[in-house]
Amino acid sequence: MADIDVLAELEGLQQSSLAELAGIQDEPALQAWRVANLGRSAPVMQVFSRLGQFSKELRPQIGQRANQVKQALEAAFAEKAEDIRQAELAKSLQLERLDITLPGRRPEFGRYTVQTQILREIYRIFGDMGFQVYRSPDVEEDDTNFTLLNIPPHHPARDMQDTFYTTQPGVLLRSQTSPGQIRAMREYAPEPIRVMLPGMCYRYEQIDARHEVQFYQVELLAVDRGITFGNLKATLDDFARRMFGARVQTRLRPSYFPFTEPSAEMDFECFVCGGKGCVVCKNSGWLEILGCGMVHPVVLQNGGYDPREWSGFAAGMGPERLAMLRYRVNDIRNFWTNDLRFLEQF
Ligand SMILES: [Zn+2]
């Protein structure tokens, strides 16, 4: 090939390459063009490797011209690459355009479980009467859960409150919130006490519709000079009216608890039928709501109070039982299965 033809060849190469580039619309074709026109075996690159074959006089001119062509192609390639990038961005913006007229997705709001809602209702009512929430541990000692509450190791009441024991002797999951009575008394003695003791309790139970291995309790404890059974009844009557309505009747029935003397069960007039008799109250017109009594002298003494000088009352109830009665929940297991169909009803 005559040397002069190489210059013409370079001229033609530049024009045809640029013409080809002008027609390219997408990234894959662009990359193929780059390989063919600027890659190692591209015609313009071949000219560089052939430089030695040309005459000395024309060699600088050919080299310079080849360089110009290469630079022109590189510049055109960079420009085209930017054009394609912009075009593809515009296309994706168009395709993925956000339709702001569509309604948004509502976030799910959490809520308190029905037991917590009822517990808070109870806190509010007794809080108005001057009782404070006092929390004590779920993991207890045999002494505080039983013995100091007048339930010594041989006592038959222990059979009704079998619980879960840890591998450490004498350490167990509390079967009732009453150990909090001992803890509160030992913390506050010799000052008067008005506390609510809420929390989870545990029992070794065969689980069925009415029995669970865990449940809430909330207890009330008042210790002072001159507290009488009349104070107990008035406080619980007031609670019944604030919780279930101004006209609700109550009645006390004798009962037995190891840590109170005398002990009683308080029934509330059935809030479903108003005392006329229905399925919920089993036609009696009454609902068993809470256990109560005057704090046993032995318990007062164990708490650090002299029973000749001090007296007190205690009462306890279960938020799940209240929820079951109020909302006709017929299976206690619903409270712990975390089924949204149940939880969302409250
Ligand atoms: Zn009823």
φ, ψ at 336 (rounded to 5°): -120, 0
Which residues make beta-bridge pairs with 262? none
What does residue 2 show for φ and ψ, rounded to 5 degrees? -65, 145
pLDDT of residue 59: 87
Q: Calculate how far, in angstroms, residue 268's C-alpha sits from the geometric centre of ligand 1.
A: 10
List the 250-257 sheet strands across, edge first. Answer: 132-133, 193-202, 214-224, 311-317, 286-295, 260-269, 250-257
Nearest to 176 by CA among 200, 194, 160, 148: 200
**Residue 125 near residue 242, CB atoms below 8 Å:** yes
**Strand, helix or coil at 112?**
coil
Centre of ligand 1 from the C-alpha of residue 111, in Å: 29
- Say if CB 292 and CB 314 are below 8 A apart: yes
CA of residue 12 to ligand 1 center, whole Å: 103
In whole angstroms, give the CA distance from residue 292 to residue 232: 8
User: Where in the chain does DSSP place strands (E)?
Assistant: 132-133, 139-141, 171-173, 193-202, 214-224, 250-257, 260-269, 286-295, 311-317
Residue-level pLDDT at 3: 65
Between the CA of 269 and the centroid of ligand 1 the distance, in Å, is: 8
End-to-end alpha carbon distance in the chain: 93
Token look-up 């913006």 returns: 93
How many A from CA of 242 to the centre of ligand 1? 19
Q: What is the Å distance from ligand 1's center to 287 Cα?
A: 8
Closest CA to 315 of 229, 225, 245, 205: 229
Cβ atoms within 10 Å, residue 144? 21
pLDDT of residue 184: 97
Per-residue pLDDT of the chain (346 residues; tens, 9 = 90+): 456 688 888 889 999 999 999 999 999 999 999 999 999 888 888 888 888 888 888 888 888 999 999 999 999 999 999 999 999 888 888 888 887 888 888 888 888 999 999 999 999 999 999 999 999 999 999 999 999 999 998 888 888 888 999 999 999 999 999 999 999 999 999 999 999 999 999 999 888 888 889 999 999 999 999 999 999 999 999 999 999 888 899 999 999 999 999 999 999 999 888 899 998 889 999 999 999 999 999 999 999 999 999 999 999 999 998 898 888 888 889 999 989 999 999 9
Instruction: Give φ, ψ of 43 to 5 degrees.
Output: -50, -40
Q: Say how many Å lie between the CA of residue 240 and the centre of ligand 1.
A: 16
Other beta carbons within 10 Å of 196: 24
CA 208 to chain centre: 26
Query: Residue written as tokens 């190891």?
Result: 258
CA–CA separation, 45 and 55 (whole Å): 18
Provide the residue count of the chain.
Answer: 346
Q: Report the separation in Å between the CA atom of 266 and the middle of ligand 1, taken as the mean of its atom positions.
A: 16
| Type of residue found at 147 | T
**Tokens at 328, concatenated:** 């006709």
